[in-house]
Amino acid sequence: MAILKILKENDTGLRLHSREVSEITPRILRLLDDMKETMRDADGCGLAAPQVGVLRRVVVMETEPGKMLELINPVIKKAEGEQCEIEGCLSLPGKSGKVKRPAHVIVEALDRNGKLCRYDGYELNARCFCHEIDHLDGILYSDKAIEMYKNTDND
């Protein structure tokens, strides 16, 4: 496994639409493993493939320690409710913003074995699903933020 370089907000690669994964190959499995290691090394709770320069619909998430989700071709099937919370992003270091998101989402995605899985996401998980899936479509949370903040070292 390897630590990958995380693209920053001024990189045009973050604004491109990612392609679906048509076949789960050893290369996709390695990407999942490298993304997990990269996300953990950067102390994040989610990472999308475009953030590491790969335009494929692949996401990893770990909003609770030890509960890693690997999502291939994730799709939000249902969204309901509303929450407005602060978000950050590994691609926008030193910034955060208040973003309105659904309070609950249902997401379908393939796992690393090609099995179709269904996930219910509430609160933080719902935000993370939406945030990471937005990355796959070239959207940053700052595009949707009601307010943006510059973080200080004292936070």
Least Cα distance to 46 among 96, 76, 88 occurs for: 88
**Per DSSP, what are the bridge partners of residue 116?**
110
What's the pTM?
0.95
Q: What angle do CA 12, 15, 16 make, to 5 degrees?
A: 100
Task: Collect the ranges in the chain with pLDDT lower than 50.
Answer: 154-155
pLDDT of residue 154: 44
d(CA 21, CA 28): 8
Going edge to edge, which strands form the sheet with 58-61?
46-48, 58-61, 69-80, 104-110, 116-122
CATH top-level class of 12-150? alpha beta
Domain residue ranges in the chain: 12-150
Q: Would you name the residues annotated as active-site residues?
A: 132
3-state SS of 90-121 is CCCCCEEEEEEECCEEEEEEECCCCCEEEEEE
What tokens does 127 get? 């935000």
Least Cα distance to 107 among 66, 82, 147, 79 occurs for: 79
pLDDT per position as a tens digit, 65-86: 999 999 999 999 999 999 999 9
pLDDT of residue 152: 66
